[in-house]
Amino acid sequence: MKIIFYLFFVLISMSVSVDADTKRYSIATASTGGTYYPVGVGIATISSLMLSKKYNMIFTAITTAGSKENVEMVDKGEIDFAIIQGLFGSMAWQGKGAYRDRAKKNLRSISMLWQNVEQFVIYKNMAKTGNIQDMRNIYGRGFSIGKRNSGSKVSAETILHILDIDYTKMNREFLSYSAGIEALKHSKVSAVNIPSGIPVSTVRDAYNSLGANNITILEFSDDDIEKIKSTYSIWSRFVIPSGTYPGQNRDISTISQPNLLVVNKDTPEETVYQLTKTIYENLPFLNIVHKSTSNMSLKKAVEGLPMPLHPGAVRYYREMGLSIPKRLLDE
């Protein structure tokens, strides 16, 4: 399947027109083991295919440490587009949390993409209740919390801090999704933090290798959710359906936050307009790239956005008759 997937993209890239006047844009994603990268590759591929000949635009997806690095690069104008967690967007725009007193006002929204599902994967013998509070059971043990500049790390720290779970008492490993699962498979850590669209290949790998009798994904109670939402309202209940992962024979009740496509405010309006239009006119293609995009739709495009829309996105949404909240208009 992977071979067919990559051959497909190679064939498409061969049909893209490039000349001296071509304008090149990059889309910052995250590590290759999560959802950001394949979706970013999908957006870049279809946009290049549709826009290279007529508009001389080429898009490339690049790997990064994740949301934190992406926010900084977009804000500084080092890159035009990026996929980020809703938490990071909210913190960055408001100047809170990781961005206290240094709000990132050069960011603009394009669209909500899909829900980023919190998946704390842990050995079952450490999950006495199956609730997120079981993370206390790995005090003094290894925990793959995410790469140092990643959104995964900060979202985990934020959630655990709000719930009075002291992550500093864990032996934190700053690993990518793939490396974290490998560490879990070899008993070098007792839990891995993998916020992502579902299903994600690394969690599937863990279930295939270790078995559903040995690992589980921790759940969140209603009280947990209310505590979290009282600080950041972006999170909501999310149920991972039974059968999403090998041997998972029941629904798992966790939480999720939106993932966003953002852009530097100085990126040309026409570029953002054409990219936004291309994404929504080619959703079936993105659905093939990754199942997490299957719930994307125009009517959900502006849900949960923490910062104003770029004028190029506003132009497209208005053409499509979408109602845009006043708070999202940069006017």
CA-based nearest residue to 117, from 259, 215, 213: 259
Please state, as a whole number, how many other Cβ atoms lie within 10 Å of the Cβ of residue 164.
Answer: 9
Mean pLDDT in the chain?
A: 91
DSSP states along 166-214: -GGGSEEE---HHHHHHHHHTTS-SEEE--BSSS-HHHHHHHHHH-TTT
Q: What residue type is 264 in one-letter code?
A: N
Where do the domains of the chain lie, and which CATH numbers do they carry?
A: 2-114+260-328 (3.40.190.10), 117-257 (3.40.190.10)
Q: What residue type is 77 in one-letter code?
A: G
More confident residue, 194 or 150: 194
Average pLDDT rounded to a whole number, residues 228-236: 87
The answer to whether the beta carbons of residues 302 and 325 sit under 8 Å apart is yes
- Alpha-carbon distance of 46 to 281, in angstroms, equals 10
Residue 241 pLDDT: 96
- The pTM of the full predicted model, rounded to 2 decimals, is 0.78
- Record the tokens describing residue 102, joined without a space: 């240094």
pLDDT band at 18 (very low <50, low <70, confident <90, very high): low
Inform me whether the pLDDT recorded for 331 exceeds 80: no
Give the pLDDT confidence of 262-308 residue by residue, as tens digits. 999 999 999 999 999 999 999 999 999 888 888 899 999 998 899 99
Reported as half-sphere exposure (CB side, CA atoms, 13 A), residue 246 has a value of 12
- Alpha-carbon distance of 240 to 245, in angstroms, equals 9
Residue 35 pLDDT: 84
Residue ranges of the alpha helices (H) in the chain? 2-14, 36-55, 67-75, 86-94, 151-162, 177-185, 201-210, 222-231, 269-281, 283-289, 311-319
Phi, psi of 95 (to 5 degrees): 70, 40
Give the pLDDT confidence of 34-60 residue by residue, as tens digits. 789 999 999 999 999 999 999 999 999
Residue 9 pLDDT: 54
The percent of residues in the chain predicted with pLDDT above 70, rounded, is 94
